[in-house]
């Protein structure tokens, strides 16, 4: 099946607008809680993964190890995260969200989540499978592109 290049172009524009909107949402929420956007997005990553190492945070953000340590220190001082020894490797330290520490941040997202869930719930299971595949593959392609950019490509 050949791609309709006009449709692909329209989707590309919408994805770019969604990316820009995501940055605006992140900046708005981060500002509301006295955080910078990188700190907020790292909190989200830690929340999604359950815990993260400094190395993992450095890899996904592109921050140096020193800047990543400073980020973790800021989040720890603010009471959002705690460090703990990796049960699989006691030489390694992981970071996790402190219980209840992001409840107020999570509340800020509730109205948007309700709107999005109501919208997404209108799609059939088959449609949602296609959307999930599209988003997953697009995310993977974006991660690969960022890695190439960081490597000077």
The domain that contains 49 carries what CATH number? 1.10.10.10
Assigned domain for 29 exists: yes
CA separation for the pair 82, 71 (Å, rounded): 12
pLDDT digits 0-9 by tens, 23-65: 999 999 999 999 999 999 999 999 999 999 999 998 888 888 9
- Per the structure, the complete domain to which residue 13 belongs is given by 5-122
Per-residue pLDDT at 1: 59
Is residue 99 over pLDDT 80? yes
Element (H, E) at 7: helix 5-32
- The three-state DSSP-derived secondary structure of 104-131 is HHHHHHHHHHHHHHHHHCCCCHHHHHHH
pLDDT digits 0-9 by tens, 78-93: 999 999 999 988 889 9
Nearest to 150 by CA among 70, 61, 39: 61
- The count of structural domains within the chain is 1
Residue 35, classed as helix, strand or coil, is coil
CA separation for the pair 4, 83 (Å, rounded): 50
Assigned domain for 110 exists: yes
Assigned domain for 137 exists: no
Assigned domain for 145 exists: no
Percentage of the chain with pLDDT > 70?
98
């Amino acid at each position: 099946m050949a791609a309709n290049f006009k449709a692909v172009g329209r989707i590309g524009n919408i994805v770019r607008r969604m990316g820009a909107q995501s940055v605006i949402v992140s900046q708005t929420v981060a500002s509301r809680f006295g955080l910078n956007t990188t700190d907020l997005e790292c909190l989200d990553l830690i929340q999604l993964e359950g815990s993260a190492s400094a190395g993992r945070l450095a890899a996904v953000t592109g921050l140096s190890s020193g800047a990543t340590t400073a980020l973790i220190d800021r989040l720890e001082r603010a009471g959002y995260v705690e460090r703990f020894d990796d049960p699989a490797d006691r030489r390694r330290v992981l970071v996790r969200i402190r219980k209840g520490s992001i409840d107020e941040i999570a509340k800020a997202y509730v109205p948007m989540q309700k709107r999005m869930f109501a919208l997404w719930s209108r799609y059939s299971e088959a449609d949602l499978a296609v959307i999930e595949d599209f988003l997953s593959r697009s995310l993977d392609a974006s991660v690969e592109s960022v890695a190439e950019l960081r490597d000077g490509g």
